[in-house]
Amino acid sequence: MGSTRLAYSSACQSVEGLKGEEYVSTGAAAGTVSEQGPGKSGFVKSSVRALIPIAVAVLIALIPVPANLKPNAWYYAALFIGVIVALMLEPISAGAVGMIGVAVAGVLGLVEHRPADAIRWTLSGFSNASVWLIFAAFMFSLGYEKTGLGRRVALTMVKYLGGKTLGLGYAILLSDLVLAPFTPSNTARSAGTVYPIVRNIPSLYGSEPGPTARKIGAYLMWAALSATTITSSMFSTALASNLLALDLLKRAANVEITWGQWFIGFLPMAIVLIIATPYLAYKIYPPEIKNSKEVPPWAAQELSKLGKVTAKEIGMACIVIVALVLWIFGKDFIDPAMVGVVLICLMLIFGIIQWNDVLTNKSAWNVLVWFATLVTLAEGLSRVGFAVWFAKYVASHLSGLPPTLVMIALVAFFFGVHYLFASGTAQVAAILPVVVLAGASIPGVPITIFAMLVCFTLGIMGILTPYATGPSPVYYGCGYISRKEFWLLGLIFGIFFLAVLLIIGVPYHTMFLAR
């Protein structure tokens, strides 16, 4: 009956450019494998996509090494840029690209010269806590699906908000917003809590990864990712890198920013972004299903068919509540990633999921590999000294400019350089002190205002790439948003977020809060 009710929605718009090769690419990211091999044309296209990143890396490496930079750092930067280009073109799956990148760097000794040190660096990403928290998020999603709890929650949301797709977009944002002030990990908040519920909604509308993704699923996934990037910038306690940034500012520049100052400082931009972003996504990346008057009644009927809540649903709900409590209040005695690992064990012990479910979850293992390797590669930029050199190089060319222009340029630079990082924490540790001190060295730059504007980018820059923030690999790996679309949307929304920050934030702080 449900499928009959949902069949009313024919494809209202076609999406140009999203053809078979895009679906295959997305499927690779999601852990699925196409059974049909590529034809001759597909092989040629794939070969070209494979040669372009290699050519880019080689050409950059052939450029003379800049002054004050070691040759291995320059060659490593060339390799890293080649990997990023490969991730954009994706001639092979993202996990394979990352693995090849760290393998080449390790074999050539670009980061560590001794073989024993090189292999430890090559595998270091697999010990990163965020990587395993992302993996736990996939297991939580599986638990929601296996128990039926995700379907029950999704049906409830659809029952009350499913009349319009745009309403679901705002509901997702508000769900993340409620949790943000108390959850200093957007991976735990969005990937571990919001995503497993959102993931159950598209199937209610007959929208799955692949040809039907644009019915509603792709829009909801992008709305969820953009939501958590906004809320991560709203509160100093909504993101781990925010807290690290505050500590480094105090040490490096003697600048202290309170929780209230942060919130008030970002509030005007937050209001604009919260109101505009779901609607902007709705217009730029429109779902095919926009209005669905028949769906809420259908959802109510499906809820009645589910009957009473089962014991496994109660068990899964208890695990989710425990996770939220520990993520919010337990950060002083247990790491968020450890919470995820423990709760996966509880799901196994109580039979919510089976070990074979873990082993066969290709999406989870694929994302774990490619994000772990990207974390390693990004960390290598700091280890070889390229990140700090690049920041100082940019800062040195800004002296003599008006203070406000310097401030805007450095904030934009700090935002854009996130393309080189798979971790906000790594960027904060490597680049933030350099950028802030560079701004402070320019006469007339208001250091506190400048430091706050830099900090405000930490959440919103997570929209840029499939690896820009913890939840990104989850929303990319789910298979609803193609590679091409993800990078393009990241660029569009990144420009929009940065424009809102600068156009509203600079005058707001300099004209009103500075008084």
> What's the Cα-to-Cα distance from 304 to each of 119, 132, 299, 312, rounded to whole Å?
55, 37, 9, 18
Instruction: Strands of 25-167 (E only): list them.
Output: none
- The residue that leads in pLDDT, 194 or 46, is 194
Residue type, 425: T
* Percent of the chain whose pLDDT exceeds 70: 89
* DSSP state at residue 66: P
Closest CA to 417 of 372, 370, 381: 381
d(CA 8, CA 5): 6
C-beta separation of 401 from 409 below 8 A: yes
Query: Sorting pLDDT into bands at 50, 70 and 90, what band is 40?
Result: low
- The residue that leads in pLDDT, 435 or 277, is 277
CB atoms within 10 A of CB 12: 12
At 4 the pLDDT is 31
d(CA 66, CA 292): 59
* Percent of the chain whose pLDDT exceeds 90: 31
- The residue that leads in pLDDT, 251 or 514, is 251
Residue type, 163: G
Whether residue 81 has pLDDT greater than 90: no
**pTM, 2 dp:** 0.71
Three-state secondary-structure class, residue 78? helix
Lowest-confidence pick of 9-18, 238-247, 313-322, 344-353: 9-18
Instruction: Strands of 181-298 (E only): list them.
Output: none
Write out pLDDT tens, residues 203-248.
888 899 999 999 999 999 999 999 999 999 998 888 878 887 887 7
* DSSP state at residue 213: G
- The residue that leads in pLDDT, 327 or 351, is 351
In the block, tokens 């895009």 appear at 22
Q: Where are the alpha helices (DSSP H) in 124-201?
A: 129-147, 149-161, 165-179, 186, 195-198
Concatenate the DSSP letters of all residues of 391-404 into one string.
Answer: HHHHHHT-TTS-HH
At 31 the pLDDT is 36
Write out pLDDT tens, residues 339-376.
888 989 999 999 998 999 999 888 788 878 877 887 78
At 43 the pLDDT is 57
Write out pLDDT tens, residues 411-420.
999 999 898 7
- The residue that leads in pLDDT, 192 or 471, is 471
Whether residue 32 has pLDDT greater than 50: no
d(CA 514, CA 403): 15
C-beta separation of 15 from 473 below 8 A: no
